[in-house]
Amino acid sequence: MPASFGNRIRVTLFGQSHSAAMGAVIDGLPAGFPIDTQGLAAFMARRAPGGTYSTKRREADAVEFLSGLVESASAPGGTDGTGLVTCGAPVAFLIRNTDARSQDYAKLKDIPRPSHADFAAYLKYHGYNDIRGGGQFSGRLTAPLCAAGYLCKCLLKQKGVTIVSHIASVGGVCDTPLDPMALDPSYAARLADPFPVLDEDARAKMQETILAAARSGDSVGGTIEVGVYGFPAGHGGPFFGGIEGTISQALFAIPAVKGVEFGAGFGFAGMHGSEANDPYTIDASGEPRPASNRCGGILGGISSGLPILFRAAFKPTPSIIKEQQSVSLSRRTPEPLVVGGRHDPCIVPRAAVVCEAAAALALMNTEDETIE
Amino acid sequence: MPASFGNRIRVTLFGQSHSAAMGAVIDGLPAGFPIDTQGLAAFMARRAPGGTYSTKRREADAVEFLSGLVESASAPGGTDGTGLVTCGAPVAFLIRNTDARSQDYAKLKDIPRPSHADFAAYLKYHGYNDIRGGGQFSGRLTAPLCAAGYLCKCLLKQKGVTIVSHIASVGGVCDTPLDPMALDPSYAARLADPFPVLDEDARAKMQETILAAARSGDSVGGTIEVGVYGFPAGHGGPFFGGIEGTISQALFAIPAVKGVEFGAGFGFAGMHGSEANDPYTIDASGEPRPASNRCGGILGGISSGLPILFRAAFKPTPSIIKEQQSVSLSRRTPEPLVVGGRHDPCIVPRAAVVCEAAAALALMNTEDETIE
Amino acid sequence: MPASFGNRIRVTLFGQSHSAAMGAVIDGLPAGFPIDTQGLAAFMARRAPGGTYSTKRREADAVEFLSGLVESASAPGGTDGTGLVTCGAPVAFLIRNTDARSQDYAKLKDIPRPSHADFAAYLKYHGYNDIRGGGQFSGRLTAPLCAAGYLCKCLLKQKGVTIVSHIASVGGVCDTPLDPMALDPSYAARLADPFPVLDEDARAKMQETILAAARSGDSVGGTIEVGVYGFPAGHGGPFFGGIEGTISQALFAIPAVKGVEFGAGFGFAGMHGSEANDPYTIDASGEPRPASNRCGGILGGISSGLPILFRAAFKPTPSIIKEQQSVSLSRRTPEPLVVGGRHDPCIVPRAAVVCEAAAALALMNTEDETIE
Amino acid sequence: MPASFGNRIRVTLFGQSHSAAMGAVIDGLPAGFPIDTQGLAAFMARRAPGGTYSTKRREADAVEFLSGLVESASAPGGTDGTGLVTCGAPVAFLIRNTDARSQDYAKLKDIPRPSHADFAAYLKYHGYNDIRGGGQFSGRLTAPLCAAGYLCKCLLKQKGVTIVSHIASVGGVCDTPLDPMALDPSYAARLADPFPVLDEDARAKMQETILAAARSGDSVGGTIEVGVYGFPAGHGGPFFGGIEGTISQALFAIPAVKGVEFGAGFGFAGMHGSEANDPYTIDASGEPRPASNRCGGILGGISSGLPILFRAAFKPTPSIIKEQQSVSLSRRTPEPLVVGGRHDPCIVPRAAVVCEAAAALALMNTEDETIE
């Protein structure tokens, strides 16, 4: 079913860009798990609109819990009795849509935006689709995905797993890749930024690329790289239970993702086995492990014990101000289109945290070790 | 669960490279569906080992049906009463493993092949994994996937959907891309080859690349491109029900796939919206449709009515003859490794038909239109 | 996952008796489906507390839609633009908990009610369970199940399917069974009652039984019978896809259900085949059909074309005023318990509509005919 | 999907009564789990046909493993290297159909047996259903269910869980119920019988009831009671994750089951709360637990720590020799029917072990404790 993901931690999303609210139900969280509401707000802020490089729509995106929690003195912020822990019931929350300007979308009901989901939704739902703000296909729906993914990220954190992300490229400008062998202690500070990059020169060039696109009424695409450090070896599985497939399914739920690759990814296509293979070594603790990580931490769908590394490709925002060729669905005639409304010239910076959330959700749903 | 895929047509795989048999159970096929056993054999032959560019292991890979079929005079080959149709019960079949030489693998139980699933399987299954021929991680398991996918491909064919594939690249050598707008009638003949390419110059260069790798005891990677023509608009869905995610999950079940991209894919990352967007036009029949197909036939996870196009990246076969650095799992010491056995210097040619099968299986499991 | 049911129309429930709200997400409803909000309110009123024979807790149980709907002039109540239709996105709604008196439950955190879920929840969630009002185990959670089931019932109604229910027994007092062969036109009026029975004498005796139990600080059990008329033949399936199993799984989600039987049910255990079998006949339209319906409309897990009939057994409400023997969980000592709060002396009358909802949900998730 | 059950240990069944073979794929078994092939054969023998009270069809029902196992010296029977353990890959097996006499069924293709699945299958599969021996609706399909359930039963045994069953009634003759509070050590010996009862007088009367039915060309129904001893408290869950619903779904996959009840079951409908409730006590080890077990070991869908007890009602075999009224499907005319072939006058004795298997499969798929 489209709205649900996972058989261990199942997230079910709901909402449209301009519905009363959007949100999610999360089933399977362990009871007694403390909710770090401040950490959640900080995580959501990394995705929130409002920065220089994003849409002018401004919403607090406050997560309002409806069920699944009880008060507990042991939870963060809980000294005054306001700390919250899970009680074993499904956790449901909503995020209100407060800054919707639906009138911007009247024209688009008849004249669809090129390369936007509006057209396919019109075909699928026979015109009943909610056109306002892109309906359920809006990037706004990544807000409940982030909130749900944050809880998964916290569960993983408890097990010693750290997930980081950065803008790997915007237009043709590339950042330094993440360290494939170990978590760099400087990442925590450097990648908490709303425009997360490792190379300051790349940052400046990427930002200029985005501003140039915005100035010409255009948009620009890019890639996000995610690194998962500390994930235990031996999770995942063969066939349809592989970690690559599970992460991919979660990533393609993010609007605008059109490609996913693990480790060397498409680069493998040009390699020989002798270049591609990761030899084994005995590490300092006497354990066998790969000595390099071109495989992105996954062998046969199973975690190898090395960091899990992947990249997702984002197409440029389809909503651009430049005039484009469209059609009138009612009159069956060509119509030029200039898109109004408030749109991101580049959604890639805000997408980094969404990719982390998707990865966390996916990894909480990979198979554990199965030995008794 | 790792072995199963799909909620409409569910395929459950089983088997290891050297187990008595491998096979699948297919649940959800409509009753009265005729099995084209000759077509199935031809499809399987495209994946079968034995060609110049593949392993020397030779097996008939005959599909032996165990259940789910009844004889019917109306089925292909049925004039003498031997035609088979589905009866509504799950269709189960097996493929026997007849040319297994398990002694080749004794050494690998202790000294894992770099970048092969052996090592991860050892970690996950605590040494109980079946090492013979790579166990359930062997490329041989794509044989039952092909047989199951072929039945899905026949179901789609009944609805007017054609799936074709070719070797998009080997090493750095690229073939001409598939036509993104319409099925080229010449594809049927040109792509039925065990080494399916469109450009004869590319064929020669690719084959030379593979033979050169084989001569030096090495292997080489590549990409497969698949085109789905005639798939109806309005299938798939938002969130986790998108066609990209569903196809990806099926593709990553194929050993060695490390990346998947749709339409312009990773190329989008370097584009502006004005270059990337597919404008709309009114076609000859008076219907609105995209005038170009950089989106690969999918918008918002939903089919647009244009061909669905994607590429999968394959890493080079990890089993190479060149000496590599490995370790002894029992002694915790470095060990050089020279892999014996019979291995493909390039699995990409045989993988084309497997990608078609995975696509067919995925597409039979995307959501239909939901209007009543 | 506990909170979700269904692979065609998937309902995901959330909420506890005293959480901010409870509700559900419904995925898979067709787009353009009109919501009959008045019909929904009337259906919910049949389950709502407040009658003579139920708890004194009073709540409007208004269903507040959060997403999945758009305004449409074509929907009921839509002449002024307020009619609502589905837009293809998941439909989410909440029901607020407004009359919660959590202080009634402080004692029960330590001294569990005999035969109530409190004790098992304490074991499962290690004391983190929400004790207030029974938490997620409260009968209140049948409110969102009813609302979701009502939408399924409307979908079935469009296909000509009518679902009715009545109190088959309370204590030892039995009502007349439903007609096993055809829908009695008088049912619509007679069974819309908050205390739905067919036999007025039985009604009086059942009500006296309940009042007598209430007077003595006790409660009483009973059974509900449901009839599904007009359900098409050939739905459902063998093995785990049978209609009995699917309906049962939905029914056992209703707190207090401890048995389910179809047609003659447990009565079959004392019969001979010659008494139990339903012979075939040719009906007035020339079609073959069973001439009797001891099988409850289901053969081999598949609908036979006759009405589907089943009964669910409800245990008496565990929360009784009479003193009972319990224990202190903290002190590990015996403790007598007198339960306060507001509880139903018999939940069976309010359960009828819940069983209809569960049946509707289950039937929307049985397999269709599979012929192409 | 009809053929599959479970999200932790998933069993996928295949086969028809007269197909080449039937069998199952079992996904999710832990690696390194030893297969007790002698125990399996003994378990299968309890279901096998051939006794005085069953069909004359005789088949060895040998389980032939196809995949998922490797040889291990540590497994039972493994001193000579022939012991088998799971390797983490899906375990697939088949059971050949060797004594099929398909000609017995030619007539039934046109003249369906009253109350048999043949008629519903004809409607669902539009005449393509496999009529031979009842096709996939045959009781023979309980053989692979038994084999799969046996492996689950062994897994549970490792955790200290014992499952026993007996014939609770045949016709109107009832056996002594199982002990609801603790496993009686004598059960192991007394219930290993192919006709498992506790009361020898009941045995004689039941057998006489069956023989009398057989003599008059008739059949007779009955009930099976299952007891699960040692199952840990706190498993299962609310809503659709309850143990009752999970067990029921598995039980209704057994042909002829028409009712399921837990603990006092339908008896609750006539009780007051003060009679029905199980008071709490502090047991000898100082732990709180219910002092009686009318709830059948389940509260709120969660195991209470007491034995889980349930009964399943079986209708009489529909295939009886006595003349019955049927119809010709082709001619649309009434036709008397006398069923030939070899059929059980009472399938209840052979069903006991099948109910154990279904319970084991269901219990391996209930949710664990969720505390971290």
> Which residues from C are below 8 Å from A27, CB to CB?
1-4, 12
Buried residues in A43-63 as b, exposed as e (16+ CB within 10 A)? bbebbbbeeebbbebebebeb
pLDDT tens, A55-65?
A: 666 667 899 99
Q: What's chain C's length in residues? A: 372
pLDDT of residue A80: 62
pLDDT tens, A3-59?
A: 999 999 999 999 999 999 999 999 999 999 999 999 999 999 999 876 666 666 666
Which residue does chain C place closest to B85, by CA atoms? C371
Name the average pLDDT for chain C.
93
What DSSP character marks residue B185? T
Tokens encoding D86: 């799971």
- Contact (CB<8Å) A370/D7: no
Amino acid in position A36: D
Q: Does A78 touch chain B (CB under 8 A)?
A: no
Interface test with A, best of C98, C128, C136, C141 (most A CBs within 10 A): C128
Q: How far from each other are the two terminal CA atoms of chain D, in whole angstroms? A: 32
Nearest to residue D25, comparing CAs of D90, D85, D97, D95?
A: D90
ipTM of the complex, rounded to two decimals: 0.96
Chain A, chain B: beta-carbon pairs less than 8 Å apart: 404
Tokens encoding C220: 């009483």
Residue C148, Cβ neighbours under 10 Å: how many? 29
Nearest Cα of chain B lies from the Cα of D19 at a distance, in angstroms, of 5
Nearest Cα of chain D lies from the Cα of B342 at a distance, in angstroms, of 22
- Chain centroid, CA B153 distance in Å: 12
pLDDT of residue D344: 87
Which residue does chain D place closest to A32, by CA atoms? D371
Nearest to residue A278, comparing CAs of A261, A263, A256?
A: A263
Confidence of residue A81 (pLDDT cuts 50, 70, 90): low
Block residue for tokens 């129904």: D221
pLDDT of residue D147: 98
Neighbours of chain A (3+ CB pairs under 8 A): B, C, D
> Which residues from D are below 8 Å from A31, CB to CB?
370-371
- Contact (CB<8Å) B30/C371: yes
Phi, psi for residue C9 in degrees, rounded to 5: -110, 105
- Contact (CB<8Å) D87/B128: yes
Q: Is the CB of residue B151 less than 8 Å from the CB of residue B137?
A: no
Nearest to residue A280, comparing CAs of C5, B114, D28?
A: B114
- Chain centroid, CA D226 distance in Å: 10
pLDDT of residue B372: 39
Q: Is the CB of residue D302 less than 8 Å from the CB of residue C121?
A: yes
In chain C, residues 82-141 whose CB comes closer than 8 Å to chain B: 88-89
Nearest Cα of chain C lies from the Cα of B30 at a distance, in angstroms, of 5
Q: Is the CB of residue C302 less than 8 Å from the CB of residue D124?
A: yes
Q: Is the CB of residue B166 less than 8 Å from the CB of residue B188?
A: no
Partner-chain residue, chosen from C7, C32, C158, that has the shortest CB–CB distance to B7: C7
pLDDT of residue C87: 96
Q: Is A313 exposed, middle or buried (0-12, 13-18, 19+ CB in 10 A)?
A: buried
Angle at B190 between CA B199 and CA B39, to 5 degrees: 150
B97: left (phi over 0), alpha (psi -120 to 50) or beta: beta
Q: Is C285 exposed, middle or buried (0-12, 13-18, 19+ CB in 10 A)?
A: exposed
Q: A49 by DSSP, 3-state: which?
A: coil
Angle at D170 between CA D165 and CA D176, to 5 degrees: 50
- Measured distance CA(C144)–CA(D238) in Å, rounded: 14
Q: Give the residues of chain B that fall short of pLDDT 50.
A: 370-372
pLDDT tens, A345-357?
A: 999 999 999 999 9
- Residue A154's alpha-carbon distances to A83, A91, D103, in angstroms, are 16, 15, 64
- Measured distance CA(A164)–CA(A231) in Å, rounded: 13
Torsion sign over Cα B122, B125, B128, B129: negative
D156: left (phi over 0), alpha (psi -120 to 50) or beta: alpha
Per-residue pLDDT of chain D (372 residues; tens, 9 = 90+): 899 999 999 999 999 999 999 999 999 999 999 999 999 999 999 998 766 666 666 667 899 999 999 998 777 766 565 789 999 999 999 999 987 676 767 788 899 999 999 999 999 999 999 999 999 999 999 999 999 999 999 999 999 999 999 999 999 999 999 999 999 999 999 998 899 999 999 999 999 999 999 999 999 999 999 999 999 999 999 999 999 999 999 999 999 999 999 999 999 999 999 999 999 999 999 999 999 999 999 999 999 999 999 999 999 999 999 999 999 999 999 999 998 766 789 999 999 999 999 999 999 999 875 433
Partner-chain residue, chosen from D12, D14, D87, that has the shortest CB–CB distance to B125: D87
pLDDT tens, C277-312?
A: 999 999 999 999 999 999 999 999 999 999 999 999
Amino acid in position B95: I
Nearest Cα of chain A lies from the Cα of B74 at a distance, in angstroms, of 35
Amino acid in position A271: M
Alpha helices by DSSP H, listed for chain B, are 37-47, 117-125, 142-158, 187-190, 200-215, 243-251, 273-276, 348-363
- Residue C265's alpha-carbon distances to C180, C254, D141, D209, in angstroms, are 13, 20, 22, 20
Which residue does chain D place closest to B96, by CA atoms? D66
- Contact (CB<8Å) B274/A320: yes
Contacts of C365 (CB under 8 A, 6+ apart): C5, C6, C7, C8, C9, C246
What mean pLDDT do residues A227-238 have? 96
Nearest to residue D277, comparing CAs of D264, D261, D260?
A: D264
Per-residue pLDDT of chain C (372 residues; tens, 9 = 90+): 899 999 999 999 999 999 999 999 999 999 999 999 999 999 999 998 766 666 666 667 899 999 999 998 777 766 565 789 999 999 999 999 987 677 767 788 899 999 999 999 999 999 999 999 999 999 999 999 999 999 999 999 999 999 999 999 999 999 999 999 999 999 999 998 899 999 999 999 999 999 999 999 999 999 999 999 999 999 999 999 999 999 999 999 999 999 999 999 999 999 999 999 999 999 999 999 999 999 999 999 999 999 999 999 999 999 999 999 999 999 999 999 998 766 789 999 999 999 999 999 999 999 875 433
pLDDT of residue B230: 97
Residue A210: its H or E element? helix A200-215
Tokens encoding B55: 């392993």
Phi, psi for residue C211 in degrees, rounded to 5: -65, -35
Nearest to residue C16, comparing CAs of C86, C100, C82?
A: C100
Helices H, strands E: what count in chain A? 8, 19
Q: Is the CB of residue D100 less than 8 Å from the CB of residue D132?
A: yes
- Measured distance CA(D153)–CA(D157) in Å, rounded: 6
- Measured distance CA(D103)–CA(D261) in Å, rounded: 39
Block residue for tokens 């050169």: B212
Tokens encoding B369: 């239109």
Residue B368, Cβ neighbours under 10 Å: how many? 12
Beta bridge partners of D27: D10
pLDDT of residue B56: 63
Nearest Cα of chain A lies from the Cα of B225 at a distance, in angstroms, of 12
pLDDT of residue D226: 98
Residue C217, Cβ neighbours under 10 Å: how many? 15
Tokens encoding B132: 């013979």
Partner-chain residue, chosen from A119, A222, A280, that has the shortest CB–CB distance to B112: A280
3-state helix, strand, coil in chain A (%, to 5): 30, 25, 45
Nearest Cα of chain D lies from the Cα of A155 at a distance, in angstroms, of 9
- Give the predicted TM-score (pTM) of the model: 0.96
- Measured distance CA(C52)–CA(C302) in Å, rounded: 40
pLDDT tens, D337-362?
A: 998 766 789 999 999 999 999 999 99
